[in-house]
Structure 1
Amino acid sequence: MAREREVGTLWIGGALSWMEQLCLKSFVDQGQKITLFSYEEIPNVPEGVIHRDGREVIDTDDFIKYESKDSFALFADLFRLHMIKQNPGMIWIDTDVYCHRPMEYDSDYVMGFELPGEYRVNNAVLGLPADSLILNDMLSFTEDRYSVAPFLPKKKQKEFRAAREAGHPVHVSQQPWGVWGPMMVTHFTHAHGLTDKVQPLDAFYPVTFRNRMKFLQRASVAEGMISERTTALHLWASNKREMGKRHDGLPPKGSYLEMLTARHGIRVREAPLKGRGKSAFQGGLVDEITLDQVESFADLSGQARSLALAAHGRFDCQVQIVDVNNEGQPPEKQSEWVDEYRQFLLDNEVPKEKISIIRDLGALRPVDVLANLRGFGDGRKVKYLKPFLDGMMHSDTQMFMDIRKGSGAFPFLRDYGESEILSTREENAKEVRRVRFARSAPSIVQNDDTWDAIARRLAGEDGFYRPGPEGHSFLYVPRSRDTLVVTFDNLDITMTKREDRRPWGYSFIEAQGWSMLGVLAGGWTWYREPWVAEQFDDLRDSGFFKQFKRVVFYGASMGGYAACAFSPAAPGADVVAISPQSTVDKSVVPWESRYKAVWDRDFTGRYGDAAEVSRAARRVSILYDPYEPLDASHAARFTNDNVQHLRAPLLGHRLGTSLQQMGILNPIILGALSGDLGQNEYYRLLRARRDAPRYQRELFNRAVESGHKRLARRLGEWVLTRNENPAVRRGLRKL
């Protein structure tokens, strides 16, 4: 009877790519027990793989690398020796080793020659007796991180000895690649006379490193090189570089790797290649997106299609292809690459209704993720990026871009937000940095003559316009004496060009024939400029609000805070606030980690703590997602008897956008502003969320994360009877 063997491996680096998933799952599918060690949570380990803490083997946070390649392979070389020592009989395999058929070797010695001539021994597959002399000798050798290995080339040994004698010994991390890997294993194998224990070349390495790209050619090429003696098959992780650079991070069509991913049900677009060592691939940037939800993705340069695919695979988002030239203008004719880009997405299961092509700058809208790889700031002048920063970035947008040294991009971006360097590479003798950019609180924009003229025209002869400091202004547009709606800008509106702005909710309120008092801000001020409070005092004292039968204060996020906070100026008014903050006073809400730009503002006084001062209103309707922890904490502070909590589970902080996508924002807000929206009617309208893909996806994911797989399966099957939800369908495949 064949001996049942367990294999083990190590992963450092967050989520697995499809290549690691493929290799791990191949052992599970072949019925071979496999353990994955790691030092962090890994979100996408294939089912059936045993996951253990690496500290059981080596309790450390010192993950040494080969500095020349920025690779954890050096630590993995050390880890495998300790794993074998502490787990007798366990065979080490690299995470790029595929199980062609189970390894059932009787001997504890499991290793293979990697080159013709049968001299060099690789350690991608390594099994040794736990009490063997060779293992003990290698463990002893690795205890000295400054040793001069006797198996290094003579010239290199001489160089290292000279450095040591001069008081500057060379650390192992600065020594040649493989010094604790194949070079060391080869040396000690021959030193102990164990070459008869080594498996022939075709056991693990029938496709040698030199021939590694055979795996990227038609499947029959690699198949023809595999023999009956092949068990574990080294796929060579260095193939990632070729696929990342030339194949969008995907296995080439018709290749051996594509055949294997299909055989084992690996969804490659959901686990993109992230690069190896200093290589950084586009698709892997999806792991750098720190947003909980992504509804929209846009590519400015046409160079991020693998990231677009990965983003859609993870978030089921819309993908916008923006066709502009080097000056940021749409070309007269559609660029040739656009159709190819679109077809690539279609070929990889992105529905056509999720893809749009933008060739009109007037059609630009804010998106959640913006890609500008090899574009403005690299191959294109960064100054032409400005209209896209203004038109496509809201307060939470994340942009990924490449910045070439000398382009002036870093100083240019400094006025807009903050850049975090993710990786650095060299191209054409120039340093290029890949960064994640996020908008910071915009600089305060003061009122100017252009906006003043627009505002006065909107106000007309019977209205008024009052400009103030920090870009604040009051714009009164009279219509009906029945209802006045007082609205406040949110964060995104403050980022809009002054000449393009209208007060929050302007068109909607105009359509109802209601009068409007729009309170505008020149930045992320939370309206804590004393002048704003003075204006509300003046309007209150002059009897301005008393001329209307109903007064409603309305806003979202920052504007939602202001709607609640300034409602005492019109006692008895109604308040409608979407995802509001109760205050941003850190002494009151120390758990509020957002909006650092206003932490030093004064939130005290008669219009300070919105949860307290809004008790003067007739009714305060708070719309919020109870699963957004910070929003829920703020909502919980509103405890007065006049408060109506309207929960919108799993729809996020940008609740208005979610409700709009469901087609129920207008009736909800109309009912709330009219004073007719009660809880029964609200929750009746909210039933529409049951057909909303985002809600379905979030509900399904929560069932899975809670361990209720049976419930998740039933829910997923129900969802797919109502509509095509790719995210849920993918989730069901994993159950």
Structure 2
Amino acid sequence: MARTREVGTLWIGGALSWMEQLCLKSFVDKGQKITLFSYDKIANVPEGVICRDGREILDTDDFIKYEKKDSFALFADYFRIHMIQQNPGMIWVDTDVYCHRVMDYDSDYVMGFELPGGRRVNNAVLGLPADSAILQDMLTFMEDCYSIAPFLKEALQNEYRAAAAAGAPVHVSQQPWGVWGPLMVTHFIHKHGLAHKVQPLEAFYPIPFPQRLKFLRRNAEVQKLLRPETTGLHLWASNKRELILRHDGLPRKGSYFAQLLDHHDIQPEKAPLTGRGKKKFDAGLLDDISLKQVARFADIGGNAQAMALAAWVKWGCSIDLIDIGRNGSWPEGPSDWVARYRQFLTDHGVPFDHINLCGKEDDLVPAQVVTNLTGFGDLYRIPPLGAVLDRVLGPGGCVISDIRKGSGGYPFFRQRGTLTQLSSRKDTGGEVHRVLVIADKAPTSEADQSWAEIAQGLAGKDGFYRESDAHAMLFIKRSDTLVVTFDNLDIAMEKREDKRPWGFAFVEKQGWSMLGVTAEGWTWFRDAWVDAQFDELKNTGFFQQFKRVVFYGASMGGYGACAFAAACPGADVVAISPQSTLDKALAPFETRYKTAWDRDFSGPYGDAAKASATAGRVTLIYDPYEPLDSGHVARFTAENVVKLRAPLLGHRLGSSLHQMGILSPIVLAALNGTLTEADFYQRLRARKQFGRYQKELFNRALSKGHPELARKMGRWVLTHGGNRHIRKALEKM
């Protein structure tokens, strides 16, 4: 007589999604007893599932993770072995295992190969005799969180042994995925000669991991791959990511997942996919909102379908679809996305009269939650969002928005409230942050103020502050020496404690006047407004009130210093790692800074190499071994140019000079006009004790085919203070 088995599993991480609900309920509906262990109460467990406290198995609050993936799978690997030992006959199943057919295995050995070839054993379904030698071996192996697994690659084992010998053993949480999971189980199965006890691929993994996306396809395509031997079917939780990317977290009609949900009467919109590992999905972002009640949810641009549906499920709120163009204009008729969005919502239970189209300014009303995903501040310029947001976002409300680094989004939103970064991602265009902004228009301290408010206070009665959508100018009058600086305001506001442009404190300390030019993002100051401001300053004689004028900046700021010095002929320029232009016709070698490639670099301030020819002394500090920086510097051919080489310190050599303690005296002398080449190179000798320079010089000797020279240099370094990179490299030579 077949032996019907009890199965057990574990859940850590808040409410269940529809995928876990589906899998748990499948066992209940098939008549198989299933126990869910957890360490906190879970509100949405399907009826019929037995709930037990995980502390019955392991009384702990230390839920160790695979840190690289921020995953509790490591704790689950540890928990399952103890669960099997303490519950004889119970079969472990992951929460993404579906009961295709009741598990009625007579043997206590229940596991399956997960790939063709009869080697690798998965542990998503696992049963072992509670008193077996293999189970005891696994428990013993896991007692040491720093053990070096014999089944890891030899090179990795050697690395871990070296780390342990150096007093820094590698914790299991930093080791490869599966070291207490499939890798461990596979090793001990073969060590104990139990491969003949393992079920064939068809039992649990007829659709193996490489083919997991087939579960997203039509029901008939999946059914033909299942076999009579199939019992607990692994659905692969990693499909959550694909469901989010392709279908807003909900299976499409007619798919295998959709058929299963319908069969077991699970409503997926009521238990959305909220995240996986470090990745938080759109619907999960609502957990970061503390509002108890939300009457209105507004989506600007139509890219938050999953969040809108989750908001309706959570609060029963109205949903406003704000249909506005990328330049802030209102379309003549509904955009293409509106109909699709409405259909998606109504297909999943949102009443039609809860969905409102806002296609003109008069349609806008305040909402408690506003979304701006993959839109203004990411793909499009952010200023056009201002007029809409000021109408839609009420005090105490919040915005969830994407901000591309360098777009000016941070200062834009800081003017409207308190900002918290929720997540970040990288794509071909750079880094994008997803942020939560809580509306608060009454800042109480400078930490809460926008740059405009700070700058207006700094300008005082003798200075001025001017701004456009993407640029600003702050003038502070102190003495008859003027330093004109150029900076990215995003960096100033986000990465500097004093929220001041680059060099502000330095210039202030010298008692000099300052004209600070800032950009909201990586604009290279290529804007008609900036040109017009410098034209006005030149034409009104602004610069003539000063005995000495120096233009100063680094990288993009260095470009600005060289280019706009044309507004003050005779002024000196100090530029660190500057660009000359991003015009592809003039600088075809430049492959960085794609965000500004489409900007117009024509006009009197466009080509910095030419514009700076009318300046006094133009001092360029750069690394000649950085080919792109060197290419730009080579374009400066005027007689007034002095090129100071800082080899092997990289594009961000300003940071290196600062770490060496020589940036301030070099810049001070340059701004004073007293820096000589001899002084510069004398101070630069400090690089001999600088770790980065030593590393780059050592690597360069090796790359040029001079290992003996590298050894000699390395031995000198190690006898004069040490360098970890060089020490490890010498050990391998």
Q: Same fold (TM over 0.5)?
A: yes
Deviation of the 1:188 alpha carbon:
0.4
State the partner residue of 2:200. Answer: 200
Which deviates further from its counterpart, 81-90 or 407-416?
407-416
Contact 1:278 1:425 in 2 (8 A): no
SS in 1 for 2:276: coil
- Opposite residue 117 of structure 2, the aligned amino acid is G
Match of 1:70 in 2: 70
Q: Secondary structure at the match of 1:382?
A: coil
Partner of 2:723: none
- Structure 1 residue 220: Cα displacement: 1.1
Q: Distance in 2 between matches of 1:398 and 1:47?
A: 36
Counterpart position of 2:275:
275
Q: Would you say the 8 A contact 1:248–1:283 is kept in 2?
A: no
Q: Match of 1:74, SS?
A: helix
**CA–CA distance in structure 1, aligned partners of residues 17 and 432 of structure 2:** 24
AA at the equivalent of 1:114? E
- Over residues 223-259 of structure 1, what are the superposed CA-to-partner deviations in whole Å (9 max), with x where a residue is unaligned? 1111111110000011111111111111122111111
Q: 1:289 to 1:265 in 2, by over 3 A?
A: farther
Deviation at 1:429, TM superposition (A): 6.3
Aligned pairs for 1:715-726 within 5 A: none
Q: Deviations over 1:252-286 (max 9, x none)?
A: 22111111011001101111112222333222333
**Cross-structure match for 1:381:** 381
Corresponding residue number in structure 1 for 2:168: 168
Instruction: Give the equivalent residue in structure 2 for 1:245.
Output: 245
Tell me if 1:431 matches 2:431: yes
Secondary structure of 2:203's match? helix
Q: Structure 1 pair 39/388, CA: closer, same or farther in 2 (3 Å)?
A: farther
* Residue of structure 2 in register with 1:159 after alignment: 159
Q: Offset of 1:4 from its aligned partner?
A: 3.1
Q: Which amino acid aligns with 1:115?
A: L
CA RMSD of aligned residues (A): 1.8
Helix, strand or coil for the counterpart of 2:383? Answer: helix
Aligned residues of 1:404 and 1:431 also touching (Cα < 8 A): yes
1:678-693 maps to which residues of 2 (within 5 A)?
none
Measured against aligned partners, the alpha-carbon deviations of 1:596-649 in whole angstroms (never above 9, x if no partner) come to xxxxxxxxxxxxxxxxxxxxxxxxxxxxxxxxxxxxxxxxxxxxxxxxxxxxxx
The residue that corresponds to 1:586 in the other structure is none
Residue matched to 2:496:
none
Q: Summarize the alignment of residues 621-640 of structure 1 with structure 2, pairs less than 5 Å apart.
A: none
Give how far 1:374 is off: 1.6
Determine helix, strand or coil for the equivalent of 1:383: coil
Distance in 2, Cα, partners of 1:257 & 1:217: 8
> Size of the alignment, in residue pairs?
444
Give the Cα–Cα distance (whole angstroms) in 1 for the partners of residues 325 and 131 of structure 2. Answer: 66
2:345 alignment partner in structure 1? 345
Structure 2 counterpart of 1:49, one-letter code:
V
Amino acid at match of 2:295: E
Q: Write the mapping of 1:21-100 to structure 2, written as runs, cut at 5 A.
A: 21-100=21-100
1:68 Cα offset (Å): 2.1
CA contact (8 A) 1:244 1:275 kept: no
Tell me the residue number matched to 2:358: 358
Moved more, 116-125 or 332-341: 332-341
Q: 1:372 to 1:41 in 2, by over 3 A?
A: farther
- Could you say if the C-alpha distance between residues 398 and 42 of structure 1 is closer, same or farther in structure 2, counting changes exceeding 3 Å? farther
Mapping for residues 532-551 of structure 1, pairs under 5 Å = none
CA pair 176-28 structure 1, distance change in 2 beyond 3 A = same
Q: Which residue of 2 aligns with 1:110?
A: 110
1: CA distance, partners of 2:440 / 2:39: 33
CA separation in 2, counterparts of 1:293 and 1:112?
48
TM-score by length of 2: 0.59
Q: Is contact 2:419-2:437 (8 Å) kept?
A: yes
Aligned to 1:287: 287
- The 3 A distance-change label for structure 1 pair 27 and 344 is same
Separation (CA, whole Å) in 1 of partners of 2:262 and 2:243: 17
How much has 1:377 moved relative to structure 2? 2.7
Aligned residue for 1:537?
none
> Alignment identity in percent?
61
2:307 maps to what in 1? 307
TM-score by length of 1: 0.58
Shift of 1:441: 5.6
SS in structure 1 of the partner of residue 431 of structure 2:
strand
Give unmatched runs, 5+ long, in structure 1.
445-735
Q: CA deviation at 1:349?
A: 2.6
Q: Structure 1 residues 387 and 54 mapped into 2: Cα distance closer, same or farther (>3 Å)?
A: farther
Please give the alpha-carbon distance, in whole angstroms, between the structure 1 residues aligned to 2:328 and 2:87.
Answer: 59
> Secondary structure at the residue paired with 1:83?
helix
Structure 2 unaligned residues grouped into runs of 5+: 445-733
- Give the Cα–Cα distance (whole angstroms) in 1 for the partners of residues 223 and 339 of structure 2: 35
Is residue 328 from structure 1 mapped to residue 324 from structure 2 by the alignment? no
Q: Output aligned runs, 1:506-521, within 5 Å.
A: none
What one-letter code is carried by the residue in structure 2 that aligns with 1:92?
Answer: W
Residue identity matched to 2:44: N
Q: Report the Cα distance in structure 1 between the residues aligned to 2:375 and 2:429, rounded to whole angstroms.
A: 18
Distance 1:378 1:61 in 2: 40
**Which is worse superposed, 241-250 or 50-59?**
50-59
Distance in 2, Cα, partners of 1:141 & 1:165: 20
Q: Which letter maps to 1:216?
A: L
